């Protein structure tokens, strides 16, 4: 009885948190697309879940779940897991991601993640040298995350991630912090294979740039020129609320199919609907596909839609090894290609 009351209290706290946060967000703000701070928080990582169109909120598990739903970290099948992923993003930008997690019996799971963007060198221009000064700089975008997840019962899991954001462009920089909160519930309504997940992402204070690059020489009232600092604007984080359902069906001794769907409410862009499916054979070979729909406030503003992927899972000498690939179609740019390697010990 006491255990049930504790679980009920925990779920009520999570539900109240989600409602309070939802009250501060706007639904489908397509008119604000491209105006948020830290847009790199929305860049997905991990080929398995991206191959499903990002719809796997209710079933994602292990170290890969850190980005998609931190509650899934508590469902890791290994004591320790590591994942390395690379994405060929748009405009020749590369996205590198690494994560490590471990589970402590009776306590929960702890995960550490690091995501960085490789943008390359950009030529420096000024008001007086619009064609370039001959100098170059390399923007630095890094997100470091710490995750805690715990299975409250064999059906219910919760998780939270704290992300430290660091951005540097030439002589200006910005730092911030963002939190993700997630819940997963398996065998919903006592239906075997039916799962639901809820996650709130990127909740935190607004960010703004600061640094010596904002200093300009200016004269006021005929006085001699003196340094004047330009005050940069503060921008909100790209917060989202996501609700997902999934159903896993084993239709043969060695074959299983998973169908998943998700609704994503965005405070800085149009709302999205995501669906995906995965066929797995003998827990070894996997084929995936997904699609993203959105309520486009501006015609043809959606950049991403179809995804596809495949994976191989092969335990060898006590090592749980997985290799996954995902393809995402992109309008106006080249397609995204994502490669992931996951190790379990």
- How confident is the model over 84-94, as pLDDT tens digits? 999 999 988 99
Q: Please indicate, yes or no, if residue 224 is contained in any of the structural domains.
A: no
Q: How confident is the model at residue 125 (pLDDT cuts 50, 70, 90)?
A: confident
Percentage of the chain modeled with pLDDT above 90 = 66
pLDDT at 8 over 60: no
Residue-wise DSSP of 11-80: HHHHHHHHHHHHTTS-S--GGGTT-SS-GGGGS---HHHHHTTT--TTT--GGGHHHH-GGGGGG-SSSE
Buried b (16+ CB within 10 A) or exposed e, 84-112: ebbbebeeebebebbbbbbbeeeebbebb
CA 339 to chain centre: 16
Q: Note the pLDDT tens digit of each residue in 195-217.
A: 999 999 999 999 999 998 888 87
| Domain enclosing residue 244, as ranges | 2-204+239-344
Q: Please indicate, yes or no, if residue 233 is contained in any of the structural domains.
A: no
Looking at the structure of the chain, the number of domains it has is: 1
Q: Please indicate, yes or no, if residue 210 is contained in any of the structural domains.
A: no
Q: Note the pLDDT tens digit of each residue in 142-177.
A: 999 999 999 999 999 999 999 999 999 988 999 999
Q: Please indicate, yes or no, if residue 209 is contained in any of the structural domains.
A: no
- Rounded Cα distance between 175 and 268, Å, is 19
Q: Please indicate, yes or no, if residue 109 is contained in any of the structural domains.
A: yes
Q: Please indicate, yes or no, if residue 211 is contained in any of the structural domains.
A: no
Q: Note the pLDDT tens digit of each residue in 26-51.
A: 445 555 666 789 999 999 999 999 99
Q: What is the pTM of this model?
A: 0.87
Output the domain CATH number for residue 188: 2.40.160.60
CB burial of residue 227 (10 Å; 0-12, 13-18, 19+)? exposed
Q: Please indicate, yes or no, if residue 150 is contained in any of the structural domains.
A: yes
Q: Note the pLDDT tens digit of each residue in 261-314.
A: 999 999 888 899 999 999 999 999 999 999 999 877 777 778 898 999 999 999
Q: Please indicate, yes or no, if residue 221 is contained in any of the structural domains.
A: no
256: left (phi over 0), alpha (psi -120 to 50) or beta: beta
Element (H, E) at 318: none
């Amino acid at each position: 009885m006491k255990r049930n009351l504790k679980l009920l209290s925990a779920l009520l706290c999570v539900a109240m948190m989600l409602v309070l946060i939802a009250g501060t967000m706007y639904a489908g703000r397509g008119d604000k697309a491209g105006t948020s701070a830290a847009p790199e928080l929305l860049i997905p990582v991990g080929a398995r879940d991206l191959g499903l169109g990002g719809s796997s909120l209710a079933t994602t598990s292990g170290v890969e779940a850190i980005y998609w739903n931190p509650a899934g970290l508590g469902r890791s099948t290994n004591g320790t897991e590591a994942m390395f992923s690379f994405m060929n993003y748009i405009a020749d930008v590369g996205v590198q991601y690494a994560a490590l997690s471990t589970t402590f019996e009776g306590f929960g799971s702890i995960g550490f993640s690091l995501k960085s963007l490789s943008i390359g060198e950009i030529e420096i221009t000024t008001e007086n040298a619009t064609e370039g000064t001959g100098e170059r700089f390399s923007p630095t975008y890094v997100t470091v995350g710490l995750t805690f997840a715990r299975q409250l019962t064999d059906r219910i899991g919760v998780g939270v991630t704290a992300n430290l954001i660091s951005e540097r462009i030439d002589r200006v920089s910005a730092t911030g912090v963002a939190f993700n909160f997630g819940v997963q519930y398996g065998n919903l309504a006592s239906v075997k294979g039916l799962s639901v997940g809820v996650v709130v992402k990127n909740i935190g204070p607004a960010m703004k740039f600061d640094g010596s690059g904002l200093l300009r020489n200016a004269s006021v009232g005929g006085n001699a020129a003196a340094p004047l600092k330009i005050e940069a604007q503060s921008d909100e984080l790209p917060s989202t609320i996501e609700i997902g359902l999934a159903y896993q069906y084993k239709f043969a001794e060695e074959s299983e199919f998973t169908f998943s769907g998700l609704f994503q409410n965005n405070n800085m862009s149009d709302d999205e609907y995501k669906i995906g499916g995965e066929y797995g054979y003998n827990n070894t070979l996997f084929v995936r596909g997904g699609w993203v729909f959105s309520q486009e406030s501006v015609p043809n503003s959606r950049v991403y839609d179809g995804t596809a992927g495949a994976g191989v899972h092969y335990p060898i000498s006590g090592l749980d090894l997985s290799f996954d690939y995902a393809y995402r179609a992109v309008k106006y740019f080249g397609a995204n290609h994502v490669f992931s390697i996951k190790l379990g010990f």
